[in-house]
Amino acid sequence: MTGRIFVPGDAAAVAVGADEVAAALLREAPDLSLVRTGSRGLFWLEPLIEVQTPAGRIGYGPVTAADVPGLLAAGLRDGGAHPLRLGRPEELPFLRRQTRLTFARCGIVDPRCLDDYRAHGGYAGLARAVSLGPAATLEEVVQSGLRGRGGAGFPTGIKWRTVAAAPGAPKFIVCNADEGDSGTFSDRMIMEGDPFVLIEGMTIAGFAVGATRGYIYVRSEYPHAIAALNDAIAIARATGWLGTNIADSGFAFDIEVRVGAGAYVCGEETALLDSIEGRRGQVRAKPPLPAHVGLFGQPTVINNVISLATVPVILAEGAARYRDLGMGRSRGTMPIQLAGNVRHGGLFEAAFGVTLGELVDDIGGGTASGRKVRAVQVGGPLGAYFPRALFATPFDYEAFAAADGLIGHGGVVVFDDTVDMAEQARFAMEFCAIESCGKCTPCRLGSTRGVEVMARIMRGEHVAANRALLVDLCETMKFGSLCALGGFTPYPVISALTHFPEDFAGPPLHAAAA
């Protein structure tokens, strides 16, 4: 049997040369059978290639195309010694400390091979769902304690129950794959590395609530994910895992990928629905909830990629196994993403409860620049900046809310001591101004006024008065906006002002801005 070698096809691995490494391997070692996988999520080691040996898979990284001849000469085929040899990836501390449920297969399987998916436990969740029936399936998801991983943290099972009970047909399953938050890439990794798990999760959702059609709304910035999903959907259709009689259960379900067009606000669920319908992505006033009046006016489940991709493992292993992990009202695991100026950036799936300090200092290894960590933004562009003083905060929906922050979609962006927090606050307002859908006044106008007020503070004009005005403006945006874009933009602004007031004192720091 020829040796198998695994090279990630994940966009982040490709961005640092994985395609060139794959091409070099094909050229130098045509006898090897090359498999393109997703990423394991250890991005500082990408491109991280693995070779199948009798002792399991052996990893090497970060590999460049120029390293390939030397690796082959050193006995890459048999896992031979080389300075880039990492040993078994599972033994690396970054992976060993994780509890991978949602990401169990990511980076291991071929995302375009259904047999590989099934050989690694795929479709066991759907099989159990079909044996339980729709009502008991729904109850399993409720019992698991799974909450929306997009950021809002609403209990997934309760949402499903509402849709199941809503009168009307057809019903829809919509997957929110508009992962626009900077510092987050877990949706992208799953879609590229294990797309069948999302298809299975959506199929289970459809079975549980009585929906026959699903849409995955993916942002246009993710071309690799779009391609992987379309390929996986075509394979699932051809093999009877999507279509009119799924796995001979009599249940019919199909999925279509819809591509966004570069609007951050379409990650807001009602704006996303308007966008699929072919309109400007403007936020709808609630009520009615999408569960009652959603896509095309029909009852609709709208869930984030990670929420849906976690459903198969909950069904396969039972709600209790999932519920028993975590802390407080945050049950199960959270795929945390370490990003920005961090030494060991990547995907860290762990039970809720790990502290911010452990994540940044211990698991992340501090900054990539080697300088001191000054601030950490958690939860994307609408999340708060945390100073070191709050590093004891455990990763948990309620604990972060109590610290005037949010965990959002689980992105953790690390900044070193060269960061200018007034500029970060100004950018938060600017981003809101660029991306505002324009429907409500506090967001549409408040964000532009916010940019102006920040510019005055940075120039040193009436600093105390403008700081008071900024706080007042943030209150208006927080309580008066229709959705989280305008409503949460105050989080990064106020947290920066509260925890780093020295940066809001005007010049001399900001003399250059004058």
Partner 1 sequence: MLAPEPWSAERAAEVIDRHRARPGPLLPLLHELQEVFGCIPDQAIRPVAEALNLSRAEVHGVVSFYHDYRRSLPGRHVLKLCQAEACQAMGCRSLAAQACEQLGIGMGETTADGRVTLEAVYCLGLCATAPSAMLDGAVHGRLTPGRLDLLLDGLT
> Which residues contact partner 1 (rule: CB under 8 A)?
11-12, 14-16, 43-44, 46, 179-185, 187-188, 220-224, 258-264, 275-281, 296, 337-342, 345-346, 368, 377, 380-381, 411, 413-416, 419, 424, 427, 431, 434-435, 437
In the complex with partner 1, which residue's Cβ is closer, 99 or 369?
369
In the complex with partner 1, the residue whose CB is nearer, 234 or 434, is 434
- Which CB, 322 or 488, lies closer to partner 1? 488
* DSSP codes joined into one string, 7-18: EE--HHHHHTTH
Specify the DSSP class assigned to residue 155.
B
Q: How far is the CB of 282 from partner 1 (least distance, A)?
A: 8
180 in Cβ contact with 262 (< 8 Å): no
130 membership: H or E segment, kind and range: helix 124-132
Shortest Å, Cβ 204 to partner 1: 23
Q: Are 117 and 38 in contact (CB under 8 A)?
A: no
Q: Which is it for the CA torsion 453, 457, 460, 463, positive or negative?
A: positive
Residue 406: which region, alpha, beta or left (left: phi > 0; alpha: psi -120 to 50)?
A: beta
Closer residue to partner 1, CB minimum distance, 59 or 340: 340
The torsion region of residue 64 among left (phi > 0), alpha (psi -120 to 50) and beta comes to: beta
In DSSP terms, which residues pair with 216 in a beta bridge? 175, 257
The nearer residue to partner 1, 186 or 333, going by C-beta atoms, is 186
Least distance from partner 1 to the Cβ atom of residue 220, Å: 6
Using the CB atoms, write b or e for 105-128: b if 16+ within 10 Å. Answer: bbbbbbbbebebbeeebbbbbbeb
CB of 380 to partner 1, least distance (A): 8
CB of 367 to partner 1, least distance (A): 9
Shortest gap between Cβ of 182 and partner 1 (angstroms)? 3
Q: Which is nearer to partner 1, 315 or 414 (CB)?
A: 414
> Where does residue 418 rank: exposed (0-12), middle (13-18), buried (19+ CB within 10 A)?
exposed
Smallest gap, in angstroms, from Cβ of residue 276 to partner 1? 5
Nearest to 377 by CA among 332, 346, 407, 334: 407
Cα–Cα distance, 146 to 158 (Å, whole number): 10
How would you write 368-412 as a 3-class SS string?
CCCCCEEEEEECHHHCCEECHHHCCCECCHHHHHHCCCCCCCCEE
Helix (H, G, I), strand (E, B) or coil at 332: coil
The least CB distance from residue 262 to partner 1, in Å, is 4
- Considering the complex, state which of residue 125 and residue 151 has its C-beta at the smaller distance from partner 1: 151
Measured from the CB atom, the residue of 109 and 375 that comes closer to partner 1 is: 375
